[in-house]
């Protein structure tokens, strides 16, 4: 596939839902040996709207995706675990991202020392 994107939920149960949903969608795609979904740029909107978004909404009815600079995923993960914040990890085009509830405000987090989480 030329100009491809990839997506995987790190959680195996969520990722199986992804695989089941994309398989039944009829949208052209490939599933790698590790369960990573690969799809063409031509099908990006359909995959996002009909496959990925509904699963995200099952996890958090109101959600956002937190992208972080390479090398910072560990800081975000540690902060969220320390503060018992709900999240799910995603791999988008081989980069770690976090699916989090919409009411969390990561711009206010102090990633140097885990502190109480703030919401909007």
Q: Nearest Cα to 40, choosing from 7, 84, 89, 70?
A: 7
Give 114's pLDDT tier (boundaries 50, 70, 90).
Answer: very low
DSSP the chain: --SEEEEEESSHHHHHHHHHHHHHH----EE-TTS-EEEEGGGHHHHIIIIIHHHHHHH-SSEEEEE--TT-HHHHHHHHHHTT---EEEEETTEEEEEEETTB-GGG--SSS-----B-
| pLDDT above 90 (res 2) | no
Stronger pLDDT, 114 or 4, i.e. the higher one: 4
CATH code for residues 60-120: 3.30.70
| pLDDT above 70 (res 119) | no
pLDDT digits (tens, 9 = 90+) for 40-89: 999 999 999 999 999 999 999 999 999 988 889 999 999 999 999 999 99
């Amino acid at each position: 596939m030329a100009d491809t994107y990839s997506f995987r939920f790190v959680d195996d149960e969520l990722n199986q839902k992804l695989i089941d949903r994309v398989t039944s969608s009829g949208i052209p795609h490939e599933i790698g040996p590790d369960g990573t979904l690969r799809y063409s740029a031509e099908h990006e909107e359909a995959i996002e709207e009909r496959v990925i978004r509904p699963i995200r909404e099952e996890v958090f009815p109101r959600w956002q995706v937190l992208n972080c600079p390479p090398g910072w995923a560990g800081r975000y993960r540690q902060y969220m675990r320390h503060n018992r914040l709900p999240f799910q990890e995603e791999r988008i085009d081989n980069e770690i991202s976090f699916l989090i509830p919409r009411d969390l405000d990561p711009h206010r987090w102090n990633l140097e020392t885990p502190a109480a989480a703030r919401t909007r």
